[in-house]
Amino acid sequence: MGGLNVKNTMVERVLQIVAPHPCSGCGKVGTILCEDCKYDIINEPFSGCILCGSYTLYGICEAHASPITRAFTVGTRSGALEELINRLKFHYAKAAARPLADLFNEVLPLLPDGSILTFVPTVRAHIRERGYDHIGLVATYFSLLREMPLTSLLRRRTKITQHTATREARQLQVVDTFEAMDGVDIREKVVLLLDDVVTTGATLQAAALKLVGMGATVWVATLAYQPLD
């Protein structure tokens, strides 16, 4: 990262405080996601398998022998949804977390009684850089909307980040990515695992596998689907 990027980043941090947000879809000033653009996203849900993209009722094909039982995805990574995610992840727009939680709330069904809410923890270097765990923020708002506590179940073990890894390298790396946090009994519970963007699904699968090993049934919810080219 060069000096210019660092400076731009600091300018963005300041602008984020003083400037009102334009809508991530239509650019209308006043709110980071206007009602019209919100309903456009909700009306175009992603109804494919998060691992192969083909149409399925449960968000994941039975053919994959995955630790994930059900999967829900707000949409494909495009348009206003992509812009909201990018602002939250790359432009310090914490205000994007609330409408993203709203979208989860619109898209997800009622959860079984006693379900436990958690999220895929973000790489620590990214939390340090942003000043917040972006998906943790979305999960916090979602937990308020659904009146369910948010529980930390997983911790990252590896320092490897995914930006430059190939598909094969990613799949080898992620197996050991997570370790369980002590103290919460999730046996025979449904755990809803939140994440931002699903590409190969390898990270989600590794996290889900850990939770299944702890005795849970795992449902996942992701904001956007973006297959690798």
Q: Which of 49, 208, 221, 224 binds Zn ion (CB under 5 A)?
A: 49
Retrieve residue 6's tokens.
């660092």
Give the residue with the Cβ less far from Zn ion, 45 or 132.
45
Among 32, 37, 191, 207, binds Zn ion (CB under 5 A): 37
Q: Which residue in the set 32, 41, 51, 96 belongs to the binding site for Zn ion (CB under 5 A)? A: 51
Interatomic CA distance for residues 114 and 13, integer angstroms? 39
**Per rule CB under 5 A, is residue 26 in the interface with Zn ion?**
yes
d(CA 87, CA 95): 9
Using CB under 5 A as the binding rule, whether residue 220 contacts Zn ion is answered as no
Among 10, 29, 52, 172, binds Zn ion (CB under 5 A): 52
Residue 48 C-beta: closest distance to Zn ion, Å: 8
Query: Rounded to whole angstroms, how far apart are CA atoms 179 and 25?
Result: 38
What's the CA dihedral at 59, 65, 66, 72 to 10 degrees? 10
Q: Which two tokens stand for residue 80?
A: 């206003």
Stretch that binds Zn ion, among 33-41, 129-137, 150-158, 193-201 (CB under 5 A): 33-41
Determine if 29 is a binding residue for Zn ion (CB under 5 A). no
Any contact of residue 50 with Zn ion (CB under 5 A)?
no
Residue 179 has, within 13 A of its CA and on its CB side, a CA count of 6
Tokens 């755990």 -> residue = 191
